[in-house]
Amino acid sequence: MSLRKLITTVLLAAFCAGFLYQIGLLGMVVWFNFRDPSNTPVMQDTLNVLRAENDQARLAHEWVPYERISPNLKRAVIASEDSGFMDHDGVEWEAIRKAWSYNQRQADLGRSRRRGGSTITQQLAKNLFLSNSRNYLRKGQELILTYMIEAVMSKRRILELYLNVAQWGAATFGAQAAARHYFRTDAARLSSGQAAQLAAMLPNPAYYDRHGATAFLRSHTATVRARMSQVAVP
């Protein structure tokens, strides 16, 4: 076999393998449209890190259906994380461009604060199928999964899944565990102020779990609360 034919064969095999892998992921997206996940890669990665220091470490997580999550939290999370959630097709390219420009300026100034441009659907794709690692290959797969999720699932199901698997602390995942951990209540009973604080924590939940309600968190919470009435929920 000539070198040219060998390269062609290898590339064709790689393409077929990649295509079959994407079909498999699409099948999992369909599965999660009807089945509730008990675990995610992000949860498992977090548990592995915690157990490296304490082999008895456990995660706090309890699934609750959409109806048992306060409308306050639904509005707060959309207002804080993705105000265009009800209208976009999964990706907001302008938000990604702005976040990239902002982060470049921050890096040039030697500042650590970063801004994300991911929608709720993109974050769900990462939480359900990927990890917290950052590289272009993972980001590309995240975008493919995002469009799959939007094609298969309703906005209501996307939000239900996201609120149940989002990380809200060093070992806390999902709205129910977060409500219990921070406010000793159920996800269904969260007030607008409590919901706004939980939503404001999402960009860096482990930090606020350790440091509590910082001045920045209180300020961001007030901003989220003011925006809650302006968003629609599924």
Which residues in the chain land under pLDDT 50? Answer: none
Q: What dihedral do alpha carbons 172, 72, 150, 117 form, nearest 10°?
A: -70
The domain segmentation of the chain, as residue ranges, is 1-35, 38-230
Q: Given this model, what pLDDT does residue 4 score?
A: 79
Q: Identify the CATH number of the domain defined by range 38-230.
A: 1.10.3810.10
Residue in this structure with the two tokens 């999550």, named with its chain if needed: 69
**Number of Cβ atoms within 10 Å of the Cβ of 60:** 16
Q: Given this model, what pLDDT does residue 1 score?
A: 65
Handedness of CA 50, 56, 57, 62 (dihedral sign): positive
Q: Given this model, what pLDDT does residue 3 score?
A: 75
pLDDT one-digit tens code per residue, 99-121: 666 566 666 566 655 556 689 99
Number of H helices, E strands in the chain: 11, 2
Asked whether the beta carbons of 165 and 40 are under 8 A apart, the reply is yes
Query: Bridge-partner residues for 114, per DSSP?
Result: none
Distance CA 112, CA 25 (A): 34
Q: Given this model, what pLDDT does residue 66 score?
A: 98
